[in-house]
Amino acid sequence: MNSCLYECQIMHARFAPRRHRFSYRLFYFAIDLDELAALPATSALLSVNRRNLYSFRERDYLPLDGPAHHPDTPPPRPPPGAASASLKSRVVAFAAAHGVDLSGGRIVLITLPRIAGYLFNPVSFYFCTDASGAPAAAIAEVTNTFREVKPYFFAPPTRTADGFHLRVPKHFYVSPFSDVDVAFDFHLRLPGDVLSLQIDDYTAGARTLTSTVCGHRRELTRARLAWFTLKYPLLTLRIIALIHFHALRLWWKRVPWFAKSARPADQRNVYRPHGTLATPAAPPPAPKPLSSAS
């Protein structure tokens, strides 16, 4: 089976305007989207599109069927028919909208599924090959605490010797302590025995924040998933708790704070837009003057 687990160390380091650093351990699922039917056989704790302790639901990812806030281009749509419900069809459609043909290829998703019914993924990564098995594209699907989603696409020109590199305007509200107009700088190594992912924030050409994921491949077996469940309990709840705890520490350090509603026009290509991005209603038309009696 190509699907597996990665046991990882996560590190976040902020360099300006105040220094702040923390790290923690967790594990990710690496799910080959062609193996979804076989996944439940690996463990009684794992299901696909059904409730379980670990529940991978395709509808939780790449919501192309919903509105996009301030799209630069019309959002891609999956092809009509029953297959449009599958996550793989949405990834293929999203890549096709960017000029990349993934038909006949494989897609591996690095993510955390729902755990005890609770879902929160700060970022999920799709690694895509073409029909020949060669790396063709990647997607970083970033989610904020407002449940908004923004996918960043890595086209063939972003390929490097061992993965992908992309620097792109963020145009997304990830944290109240990071402005929306900074640049994301992604360095993604192709997953193998080692998983190595890095996202940096750049403000006016200077790196202000770095986040890294470093991990090692583990087989997806009943025993391994049961052990990780005991070793890393309720991961998604722990992650959201850590986010709020360190946000409080940054506030205490007087790091500048940015309101989400302050710059909605700079939050672009955002799926599942929160109410803070609602377009203000147009003022009602002025009443027509009454005509005079003849």
pLDDT in tens, 177-236: 787 778 999 999 999 999 999 999 999 889 999 999 999 999 999 999 999 999 998 888
At residue 292, the pLDDT reads 38
Q: Taking a C-beta distance cutoff of 8 angstroms, is the pair 6, 30 a contact?
A: yes
What does the alpha-carbon distance between residue 213 and residue 32 come to, in Å, rounded to a whole number?
19
Q: What is the dihedral of CA 46, 49, 197, 147, to 10 degrees?
A: -120
Q: List pLDDT tens digits, range 110-151.
A: 999 999 999 989 999 999 999 999 999 999 999 998 899 999
Domain ranges across the chain: 4-277
* Region 252-278 average pLDDT: 82
Residue 245 has pLDDT above 70, yes or no: yes
Helix/strand/coil for 78: coil
At residue 237, the pLDDT reads 84
| pLDDT, greater one: 31 or 258 | 31
Residue 293 has pLDDT above 50, yes or no: no
At residue 198, the pLDDT reads 98
Beta strands in the chain (DSSP E): 4-14, 20-32, 46-48, 54-56, 68-69, 107-111, 114-115, 123-129, 135-143, 149-154, 163-169, 183-189, 194-203, 206-219, 270-271
What does the alpha-carbon distance between residue 78 and residue 179 come to, in Å, rounded to a whole number?
32
Closest CA to 106 of 82, 135, 79: 135
What does the alpha-carbon distance between residue 149 and residue 121 come to, in Å, rounded to a whole number?
10
At residue 212, the pLDDT reads 97
At residue 183, the pLDDT reads 94
Helix/strand/coil for 261: helix
- pTM, to two decimals: 0.88
What is the biggest distance separating any 2 CA atoms in the chain, rounded to whole angstroms? 91
Share of the chain above pLDDT 70, in %: 88
Q: Taking a C-beta distance cutoff of 8 angstroms, is the pair 48, 56 a contact?
A: yes
At residue 280, the pLDDT reads 42
Helix/strand/coil for 156: helix
At residue 285, the pLDDT reads 46
Which helix (H) or strand (E) covers residue 250, if one does?
Answer: helix 235-252
Question: For the purposes of burial, counting CB atoms within 10 Å of the CB of 95, is it exposed (0-12), middle (13-18) or buried (19 or more)?
Answer: buried
At residue 242, the pLDDT reads 85
In this structure, of 45-49, 69-73, 243-247, the range with the lowest mean pLDDT score is: 69-73
At residue 247, the pLDDT reads 82
